[in-house]
Every structure is written in structure tokens, then in C-alpha cells.
Chain A
Amino acid sequence: MQRDSFSVSIENLPDSPMGSNKKMNKVFDKMTQWVTPWRSNSESPRERMILRGDVEQDEFQYASSHCLSSYYSVFVVRLAIMVMLAILIGLLTILTWHFTRIYTKQSLQTLAYGLRYELLQRPILRMWSVLNTTSELTTAQVKLSEYVIRKYDKPTTQEELVEMYQAMKDVTWTLFASAKALNAITINYRNGFVQAFHRDTTTSSTFYIFSDLKNYSISGTGPKDVNGWNNQTIHGNMSAIWYQQQLDPVTGAMLGKPRRIPPDDLISIAGISQVPDGEASWHVTVSKYMDSPLLSAALPVFDASNKSIVAVVGVTTALYSVGQLMRDLVEVHGGHIYLTSQEGYLLATSTNGPLLRNTSKGPKLMKATDSEEWAIKTGAQWLQKTYGNNLPHVVHAENARLGDQQYYIDSFYLNLKRLPIIGVVIIPRKFIMGKVDERAFKTLVILISASVCIFFIGCVCILILTNGVSKEMKLRAELIRQLDARRRAEASSNYKSQFLANMSHELRTPMAAVIGLLDILISDDCLSNEQYATVTQIRKCSTALLRLLNNILDLSKVESGKLVLEEAEFDLGRELEGLVDMFSVQCINHNVETVLDLSDDMPALVRGDSARLVQIFANLISNSIKFTTTGHIILRGWCENMNPLHDEMSLNVDRKKPLAPMKTKLVQHRNHFQKSCKNANKMVLWFEVDDTGCGIDPSKWDSVFESFEQADPSTTRTHGGTGLGLCIVRNLVNKMGGEIKVVQKNGLGTLMRLYLILSIPDTVEQNLQPDFSKYGLVVLLSMYGSTARRITSKWLRKHGIATVEASDWNELTQIIRDLLETGSRDNSFDSQHNIADSLRAELSTIQEIENPVFVIMVDIGVLDLTTDIWKEQLNYLDRFSGKAKFAWLLKHDTSNTVKTELRRKGHVMMVNKPLYKAKMIQILEAVIKNRKRGLCNGIRNRGNGSDESHDCLEIDPTHYDTCSSDDSSETSGEKEGDKPVKSSTLLSPVLKNYLIDTTNRNDDSTSASMTRKNTEEEDWKDRNNRLYSGIALDGKNPKSLEGIRILLAEDTPVLQRVATIMLEKMGATVTAVGDGQQAVDLLNFRSINAQDSTQEQKSSEEETNVNPQSSSRYSSPYDLILMDCQMPKMDGYEATKAIRRAEIGTGLHVPIVALTAHAMSSDEAKCLEVGMDAYLTKPIDRKLMVSTILSLTKPSTLVTSYSA
């Protein structure tokens, strides 16, 4: 998005040419892509996202802006790190460069300085030594000359003079010969005579030069004063004749004749002029014999009196050797060295170039600036240019640029008296620093390239690193976004669930009203047939709608976590029996057998939520019924202890195999489980619902438990349903710590297996199975349904009761005849060929039992009810009634004529199908009891059947009172009072004893807690019953609450008034208070004063465990308290707690009913927790209130009021 706008803005630039524009664009694109790498990835998710709703779009934008800022920050950080890296590397490079170069340079320069110094020092020292030698030799010559002259003091004769000259010559020769370096020694006498030795280096010959003696007197004709004694006298003395005598250089012997030479050829001879003040003097001369300048020293020779100069000795030394040394030095080190006089005349150079210039007047000294050697010339010129004429004594110039090269120029000053010398060294810089400079350059290049490389590598590293970070950030952002989305989704789902759960009351109440009103309408007589049919139809639809609503609400309640499972003791077997009883009605219509097969080790009492448990099985069974048209539905149950060894033993072999996968999970679960609640007496209960219906495709086994999922979509058409049932079942099972799944089954149908983990109350003794084996019972089962028969007989045999099965009338009669017609026993064996061998063997074993008690269970279906034959059959059977006890299995639709006939014949033991363990036990117990009584009282009066039927009826309440969690016994009286009305008006076919009792129980359990919902059938019955009772109470007996004293604690005046009037209309005595505190006070006060009340107070709750008969009791002033939950000062919960506290020890338990505007089960749980007994929601539903109040207050009062 942003990128697009960028590129657009670039393209819109008017002045940028097209090509570069595109290029730039591309670069920019790349850059932005690099800067914000998420963009390249985000393209596809964005597209995907767009497909969803606006919410995601918003979220995405929100997240992307968030992302964008984070990516920019990443980019900035990246840039900063790179800049820092660059600075670091640059610094490092510069420092390295600096240290390597500067230190090298400095040390090298020091070295170079030393070298240069050395270079100069050596020729200068040589010069110095040359000078020294010269001076020493001169001095020696002077001393010798003085000596000789003194010896021949005042020569008078020519001979003496010649002799003296000869001696002088010899002495001088000795000296000259000994000092080979000397160029010449001259002695210039006062009289003008000159003696000189001279070496010609070019010819390497030695000459003796002397002037003609003839011209010189002893006394001297020359001018006497010093001033007249000058050079000109020598050279200008044209009269003098010069001779040159070649000498043997070693011996000094004369070789050949002296040769006369012109004065031009003379060497320079030191004259008096050179020693004007009688001191030694130095000067540089040139000679035409030598191409190098000569250093000449002159010293005067004084006479004995030391006052006058008699002669001047001159010593000339060639500077050639200095030049030689310089050359040698330069050869090694390179560069140039030259020496000049102070005036700038060249004395010696390191080159071979000429030092003199030839002029017309002979060779002359050359200035350094005029040297033919380029380096020396330019160097000298540079020096002159730089310093002018006043050259400082010491110069160190490091970077003198001569031509196109850099030179070192150093000069030294040697201050000799009369002959100051300046030495200059010119060395090209590259000779010394050339390598260094080269190296330095290379080092710089290497350093720079290395640092650039490091920089790039660093950048790449940073990129990679930050990429990782940015990737992580990206992922994190993604994660945050996902979490956020999930949170929102959960929240919205939660809102939905919460909404549904909150709406539960609002949804169910109108439906209940609709159904109730419809029932009223149906029971109304003045409906036409058509109307009746329509109303019935509406009734069905409403029920279906209510069921659907209940399912959805249950599901939402489970999903929103609001479902709180109750923890109450209940009789598991009884709940399931009731369930099977109920469904069997439907099943018999469908020609499907319903069988309950609970193993003996199932605990009788368990703790848990009985309503939810029943709901699970009701859903499963109704599901099975829906898909099963023929065959059977078996509900199996067995139990498994936590001890794994034990459960292996208890399991049947055929059950083991398909159990394996579930068991592994169970084992895991159990491990966890054993840790958490070892001492809590938990038990794993296994159940199976096995049907012979159409079955479920294995691929759908998992998905059937999902919401709105059905194995086959077409089933919706044929069977209806929403597919919520199994989902609820699974949720509930999971909530109870169990698991459910479909397992493989042999043959047709579906096998659902589930386990639940329920705790067992450890106080109650478990499951006392009666022992029937000792009574010698023989049971003849004559039933249609083979499955039920098989299971029952198996169970009977297991308990040591001999059992014979018969499937139809013929078989029954045969067996009866065999067993009971003792007279014709032998014949019958012969005549009954069709009896199977196994049966025959069984019969024979039975016949061996001593004093057998025969119980013959006859299914009413075995009789032929279609015609009147059944009466004949009954008469036939009646013949054996003395020998055997008949128990009849009735169907729910068995007609009254049959029943009355049976009763008339004295058959008192009648139970409704299906037959299961508990009923069997009852029948057997009745038989045993009967027999005992029969043994005591003799033969029983046959006409006294009604008494026996009462005996039989009494079995149920006494049996269940002790163990049932429901308060069935209290309302049974009331219900029995209603019985005639009920059996005539209700469509639900309720027969006598057992089933009635069961339905009543269910009814009460649901009325006590409104949220419990079962399947359609039960619900229907509930509605009917409740409605019926409501009608009865409302219509026929408006004063249904007559005599009940009610304390109403309610703060809202409106509600208080309404409730008061409502209750008073129904005959109750109402005391209203405004808050909880008042209620508590009132109760405490009154209970103290009202102890002598005669009315018996009966506690209806099992939880209190108070035995009504034995406990000493004070009467409470109120039979019931209606308690609003939210009140000022003290709310309902607190008040209830206070009341319950006060009740401790008194044995009282005033029923407290909560009144609340909250319709949630969690509120209900809270109410029950603080000790309330029931729960009513606002607005008060009158019928519901009445039924609740009645169920909680003493039923005996009601019964009396009815009878009165």
C-alpha cells in the first residue's frame, strides 16, 4: 500500500528521464523491500485475509501498522549498527596506518639522519686528517728548515750557501718521500731561491724544481722588507731560470738532466705573501697538473733570532683522496656529496665531474652552482634559493624537490681557520624512504581494502543477525496477532455461549408455558376432532422445540463452562432401571427389546450428578431407538476397580479385545488419577449401549460426537434430530472424567462404549447381593425376547438358581408338565420328543432338587391375547398355582381386563416389562417371604390377594428410602392420591406399582432442580405430572398451601407485595421482612418462643442425615422461608448461612427457597452451597412455586388436606 504510493510519487516526477526513472524505481523497490522484508511475504496472507470479513481486515491493518513501525525501528537499528561499525573500522584503519607509517618513518628518519651524518662526517674527517697531515708536515718542514738554516747561520760563502741548500734539499726530500700524500713541498727563501719537490700523479713521477742559483746572492738581493717579498717576485722574476729535475720516487736519485722549464709550468709556490703575519695560512689552489683543487699550507721559517722570516715553506696536498672517499661512500649509499669552501667553490665531489673550469688563465675553481653535475648544481641552487647567501651552518632538508624527485639535503660546516668548509649531502629520498614509501602505500591500500572488506562482512553479518531478529519479531507480531484474534474469537464465542446460557430462563419459560397451555387445551373436552388433532400436533412440535432448545442450552452451558456437576449420592442402578423402563414403553411399540444388564459388582450408590448421568444414557438410548427397528437395545454396565489386576479378571473375554485402545488411554488417565485422588474412593464404571440398528460407518465414528453431525445426512430426513445429542453426551462424559467412543461390533448395529469415573461414598456398604441359592428356587422363564431371557437366565444361574427357559406357549406347557405334573412324568418324557437334550438334562437336574420352589415368570405376550384363548391358557396355568408361584410380566398396554382377571385368579406378582435384575430380585424376595409366611401361617387364603399386592408394593419404598437420593417417598402419597385421575387423563400409559413409582421419582428430581432435562418421554411425563398437579392445586384446590407458614425475606416492596398476595391467595400464612437480618432475627426469636408447638416438623432432606423419628426436635415458627438473594444489610446467602448455623444442634431444618433474578446454574450451585434447598427465579411462576413449596414442606399435611 505504502509502497505503491511511493512508486507512484516517483513516477510522477516530471523531470526525471524515463530510463533512470525506471531504474530508480527498481532500486527503490528493492530498497523498500529490503527495509520491510515482511512485505514480500505478506502479499498472500493479505489476499487470504481480504476474503474474510471486515474484522480481520481491521485487525490486519492494525497489526500491519504495528509491524511497520517495528520494522522501521529495526531498520534504524541496523543503520546505526552499521554506522558504528564503519566508524570503528575507520578508526582502526587510521590508527594502524598512523602507527605503522609514522613510527617507521620516524625510526627510518633517525636512521637516515645518522647515515647522512656519517656520510658527511667521514669525508670531513678525511679532510680534517688531510689538513692535519699537511699542517704537521708543514710544521715539521718548518722546524727542519729552521734547524738547517740555523746551522748554516749567516752563510758567507757561495759554497756554504750551496751546502745549506743541499742540506735543505736532503732534509726536505726525506720528509717529502716519507709523506706520500703530499703533492708538493716548496721552500721559498728570502733571497728568492726556490726549492720544491713535486709529484705528478698523472705520470707518477717525482720532480725536483729549483731556481737558478746564479742569480741569488748570499745576502740576498731581494728586497729586505717583507712587503716586497711577494709572489710577483717569484713569477715576475723573469730573470730566474727554473729547472726541473726528475727524481727516482723512492731513492731520490736524479734521473737525467735537469730540464729548464718555463715559469708557466711552475707549480704554485708559497711565497711570503701567504704568510703576511707570520702565521700559518691555508688556501685552495689549482694546478695545471691536477684536475682537482689542491690544499696548500704555508708557514714562515724564522731565523734564529725569531725576528725575521728567512723562508716560507709551502705544503700542497691534493684533495683527490677526499673525493675518492666520497665516491666510495656514495657508491655504497647512493646520492651525492660535495664539499665547498665558504665562498661556494667546489673542493670535492662524489662525482667524477670536473671540479675546475678551464679559463684562458688556466684552470680556476668552480662554484657548486655551476657544477656540471646536475644533482649538485640543482642542490646548490636549491640551497641558495632557500637560504640565500647566508647559509646556516647546519641544514637538514628532508623534502627538497629537485626536478621531479625528492631529496634529502644536509649540510655541515667545518670551521677551519682561514678555510671553512661546507659539506653537503644530497640523497634521493627514495634511496632511503623509497621502500618505506612504497610499503606505506601498499599498506594503506591493503588496510583500506581490508577494512572495506571487514565493513561489508560486518554489514552482512549485521543484516543476517538483524534479519534473524526481525524474523523473530515478525513471528512474534504474527503470534500476537493470532493470539489477539484467538482471544477475540474466544470472547465472541464466549459471549455467544454466555448469551445463550443467560437466555436459558427466558427461552425455556415461554416454551414451558406453551406446552402447559397446550396440555390444558388437550384435556379440555370441548375440542372438535380436527382441533384436537391440530393441538396435538402443536404439542408435539412444541415438545420437539423444547427438546432442541434444551439441547442447545445444555451444550452452550457446557461450552461456556457454566455447567456445574452436582455431587450427590444416588442409586445408579435405580436411575438406569427407571430409564430403561421408560424407554421400553417406546421400544415395545417398535418391537425392540430393551435390556438392562448391569453386573453384580456395580456399586449401588455412587456420588455424582444423577440427572446428567441419566441424560447421557437417555440420549444414547433414544438415539439407538431412533435407528433400531427390530432387535434389541442392551445397556450394559460393569465396573472396574482401580486395581488393574482385578479388572482383567472381571472382564469378559469377548470384551477384552475391542477394549484395548481405550484402555491404554484409561491407563494413562488412571496413572494421573491415582496420584491426584488416591484416597477418594473413585471407580471406573464401564457402560455399553448396544443396538441392532443400522450402524454407523467406521469413518464417522469420531465425527458423530461433533455438534450438528449425523452419521448420514439423509437420516435427518428419515429420523429427524439435530445431531446435538451425542455432542452433549460426549461433553458430559468428558466432564465426568470419562470417554466415549464407538467400537467395533460383531454383527449389525452400533456399540457405544464409555467409561465414567465416579466416586463411591465409602460410608455406605456396597451392594449386598441376596443369596438365593439356599432356597432351592427353580425359575421358569417364559419370555418372548431372547436377549433379555438369556441375560436373565444367565444371571439367575450365576446366583445358583436353577433356570429353565421357554420361548413360547408350547414350550412352557411342556416344561411345566415335565416339572410339575409328577404323575405323568414318565409319559411326558416319551411323548415330548422335541425337547432338546440340553433342556432335558437341565430338567432332570432340577428334578433332583429337594423341596423345590417353582417360580414361573410368564410374559403376558406368551398368552394369545388376540382371541379369548388366553383365558383358557390362564385356567390351564392356574392348575399349577399351588405348586408354583406365578409372576407376570406385563406390557404397558396390557388391558385392564387381563389385569383384573389375573388379580382375580390370585396372581399378585405382576411387573412391567422389561425384566431386569432389581425386579427379579424383588420377585424372588417376595416369593421367599411368601413361602416363609406360608410355612408359618399354613396355606394362604387365595382371596386375600389385595393384601399381598400391598406387600409387593411396599417393597419399593422401603427399598429405596434407604438409598435413593430423591425424595420419592414424600410425594408418592400425593401422587397415589392422584392416581385415578392420572390413569384416565394421561396419554402416557402408566400402570401400577413399579413404574408409577419410577415416574414419580423422575418427576420430583426434575421439579427440585429446574435445569435437569431428560429426553422427550421423560420430559413429557414430567410436564404432564407437574402440570397435572398444578391444575389440581390451582383449579380444584386453590388453597393448596393452606396452613403453611412462610417467611418471606424480600427487599423490593413490589415483589414483596406480589409474593405475599400470591401466597396468601393460596392459603399460606405469610410474614414479610425487608432484609436478611430481620429474617434471621425473627427466626431466632420465634424459635425460642415456639418450642412447645405440637406440630411435627419433618425434614425432607437426606443431606442432613437426620432420622426423623429419633431426633429430638423443636418446632420452627415457619414451614418455609422464601429468601431473596440480593438484599441490603444482609443478603440471602449470608442469612441462610446464619440460619443454618443457628440450626446446628437443634435438629431443625427449615426449608429455604432462594428467589433470584439470576437464572444460572452457577447461582443455583451457590444457593445450594450455602444451605438453601431450592431455587426459584424471578418473576415468580406460581405453579412452580407451589410445587416447590409443596415438595419441601411436609407431605403428610397435604395428604390430610386432600383427604379432608
Chain B
Amino acid sequence: MNTTIVAQLQRQFQDYIISLYQQGFLDNQFSELRKLQDEGTPDFVSEVVSLFFDDCAKLINNMSKSLERPENVDFKQVDSGVHQLKGSSSSVGARMVKNVCISFKECCDVQNREGCLRCLQQVDYEYKMLKTKLQDLFKLEQQILQAGGTIPQVDIN
């Protein structure tokens, strides 16, 4: 009984994580992160991810403040924010966020405020999206662990 639930949950987990990869929310770096998680650091992934989301919230807040006024936008500041965001998102493997960051950076380079605002909104949307998805994932993980199962290794490659 228990094992079937675990197996079901595991399959569900696998499907879910694969769908995340396939939909392009995550990339290889995320699996790298997952590989780093072991007994020594059991909550490494969720820790890093929550760090990332905090970082995201902070950066997006900063950037939206910078972009608030229509004139005298400090693009340098925005640019550094985007740069950081890009670095951290690529490290976490948040592919969507990273991709938006790339176009965001282009907008920043040409000092296109409209584009920047659009990208900012997109980034905001993407990271929140990812956040809910990952929260679901972690919830699943918790369920599996509670059911006494192990987290299956999902190799996306």
C-alpha cells in the first residue's frame, strides 16, 4: 500500500520535473544543483532556490524603482541588477528567467525604457511562475519523504 503510494508519488515527481525541463523552466544547471544535494546538505536545493527567489524579489524591486520615473533612468544600476539576476538565474538553472534577462540586458544596453519595463514585468512573471512550480515540486518531495520513499534521481539528459 505504502510502496504503491510512494511509487505513484515518485512517478508523479518524475513526470513533474521532466515537464518542468521540457517546458523550459529549468535547465541542466538545476540538475547539477540537485546532484550537489546529499545527506550533508539535505535542503540545499530549496535553500538555494529560496535564496534565489529572495534575490529576485529584491532585485526586481530595485529595478522597478529605478525604472519608475520616466526620465533620468539610471540604466547603469538597472544593468547591474540584470547582470546579477542573470548570473544567479543561470546558476540556479532558471532558464526562462535567464532568457528574459538576456533580452532585458539588450534593452538596457540601448536604454530602451519601455523594453526594460516590459522585460521587468516578464521577469517578475517568470520568477513567480517558477516559484509556484518549484514550491509544488518541493511539496511533492516532502510527500515522498513523508511516505518513506526516496527522491528519485531524474536524469534529464
The proximity string for B residues 27-46 relative to A, scoring 1 for CB distances below 8 Å and 0 otherwise, is: 01100110010100100100
Q: Which residue of B lies closest to A1124 (CB)?
A: B87
Whether the pair A1053, B93 counts as a contact (CB closer than 8 A) is: no
Given contacts A1157-B90, A1179-B93, contact A1126 B44 (CB under 8 A): no
For the complex, is A84 an interface residue (Cβ under 8 Å from B)? no
Whether the pair B48, A1157 counts as a contact (CB closer than 8 A) is: no
For chain A, the count of residues having a C-beta within 8 Å of the partner chain is: 20
Residues of B within 8 A of A1059 (CB): 91
Looking at the complex, which one of A517, A1055, A1065 makes contact with B87 (CB distance below 8 Å)? A1055
Residues of A within 8 A of B28 (CB): 513
Whether the pair A1157, B87 counts as a contact (CB closer than 8 A) is: yes
Looking at the complex, which one of A1053, A1126, A1179, A1182 makes contact with B55 (CB distance below 8 Å)? A1053
Given contacts A1053-B51, A1055-B91, A1057-B51, contact A1157 B86 (CB under 8 A): yes
Main secondary structure of the interface of A (DSSP, over half): helix
Residues of B within 8 A of A1055 (CB): 87-88, 91
B45 to nearest A CB, angstroms?
A: 10
Whether the pair A1052, B44 counts as a contact (CB closer than 8 A) is: no
A1053 to B85, CA, bound (A): 11
Residues of B within 8 A of A1157 (CB): 83, 86-87, 90
Which positions 76-135 of chain B face chain A at CB distance < 8 Å? 80, 83-84, 86-88, 90-93
Looking at the complex, which one of A1051, A1052, A1053, A1061 makes contact with B41 (CB distance below 8 Å)? A1061
A1061 to nearest B CB, angstroms?
A: 5
A1055 to B92, CA, bound (A): 8
B52 to nearest A CB, angstroms?
A: 4
Residues of B within 8 A of A1052 (CB): 55, 84, 87-88, 91
Residues of B within 8 A of A1053 (CB): 51, 54-55, 88
For the complex, is B47 an interface residue (Cβ under 8 Å from A)? yes
The proximity string for A residues 1046-1067 relative to B, scoring 1 for CB distances below 8 Å and 0 otherwise, is: 0000011111011101100100
For the complex, is B157 an interface residue (Cβ under 8 Å from A)? yes
A946 to B92, CA, bound (A): 53
The proximity string for A residues 1065-1091 relative to B, scoring 1 for CB distances below 8 Å and 0 otherwise, is: 100000000000000000000000000
Whether the pair B55, A1061 counts as a contact (CB closer than 8 A) is: no
Looking at the complex, which one of B48, B54, B86 makes contact with A1058 (CB distance below 8 Å)? B48
For the complex, is A235 an interface residue (Cβ under 8 Å from B)? no
Given contacts A1052-B55, A1053-B51, A1179-B93, contact A1058 B87 (CB under 8 A): no
Residues of A within 8 A of B55 (CB): 1052-1054
Whether the pair A1178, B36 counts as a contact (CB closer than 8 A) is: no
A625 to nearest B CB, angstroms?
A: 35
For the complex, is A563 an interface residue (Cβ under 8 Å from B)? no
A1178 to B88, CA, bound (A): 9
Residues of B within 8 A of A1061 (CB): 36, 41, 44, 48
Residues of A within 8 A of B44 (CB): 1061
B123 to nearest A CB, angstroms?
A: 15
Given contacts A1061-B36, A1065-B36, contact A1180 B83 (CB under 8 A): no
Residues of A within 8 A of B36 (CB): 1058, 1061-1062, 1065
Chain B interface extent, by class: 20 to 34
The proximity string for A residues 1174-1204 relative to B, scoring 1 for CB distances below 8 Å and 0 otherwise, is: 0000111010000000000000000000000
Looking at the complex, which one of B29, B38, B41, B80 makes contact with A1179 (CB distance below 8 Å)? B29
Residues of B within 8 A of A1057 (CB): 47-48, 51
Residues of B within 8 A of A1051 (CB): 84
A1167 to nearest B CB, angstroms?
A: 16
Whether the pair A1179, B90 counts as a contact (CB closer than 8 A) is: yes
Whether the pair B52, A1182 counts as a contact (CB closer than 8 A) is: no
B41 to nearest A CB, angstroms?
A: 6
B55 to nearest A CB, angstroms?
A: 6
Residues of B within 8 A of A1180 (CB): 91
B102 to nearest A CB, angstroms?
A: 9
The proximity string for B residues 52-80 relative to A, scoring 1 for CB distances below 8 Å and 0 otherwise, is: 10110000000000000000000000001
Whether the pair B91, A1179 counts as a contact (CB closer than 8 A) is: yes
A1054 to B58, CA, bound (A): 13
Whether the pair A1182, B88 counts as a contact (CB closer than 8 A) is: no
Residues of A within 8 A of B90 (CB): 1157, 1178-1179
B88 to nearest A CB, angstroms?
A: 4
A1124 to B47, CA, bound (A): 21
The proximity string for A residues 752-786 relative to B, scoring 1 for CB distances below 8 Å and 0 otherwise, is: 00000000000000000000000000000000000
Residues of B within 8 A of A1178 (CB): 87, 90-91
Q: Which residue of A lies closest to B29 (CB)?
A: A1179
A1179 to B91, CA, bound (A): 5
B99 to nearest A CB, angstroms?
A: 11
B153 to nearest A CB, angstroms?
A: 16
A1126 to B87, CA, bound (A): 10
Residues of B within 8 A of A1124 (CB): 87
The 8 A-B residue pairs with the shortest CB-CB distance in the complex, in nearest-first order: A1054-B88, A1179-B90, A1054-B52, A1052-B88, A1055-B91, A1053-B51, A1179-B29, A1157-B87
A-B contact pairs, 25 of them (CB 8 A): A513-B28, A517-B157, A1051-B84, A1052-B88, A1052-B91, A1053-B51, A1053-B54, A1053-B55, A1054-B52, A1054-B55, A1054-B91, A1057-B47, A1057-B48, A1057-B51, A1058-B48, A1059-B91, A1061-B44, A1062-B36, A1065-B36, A1126-B83, A1157-B83, A1157-B86, A1157-B90, A1179-B91, A1180-B91
14 further A-B contacts with Cβ under 8 Å, apart from A1058-B91, A1126-B87, are: A517-B157, A1051-B84, A1052-B88, A1052-B91, A1054-B91, A1055-B91, A1057-B47, A1058-B48, A1059-B91, A1061-B36, A1062-B36, A1065-B36, A1126-B83, A1157-B83
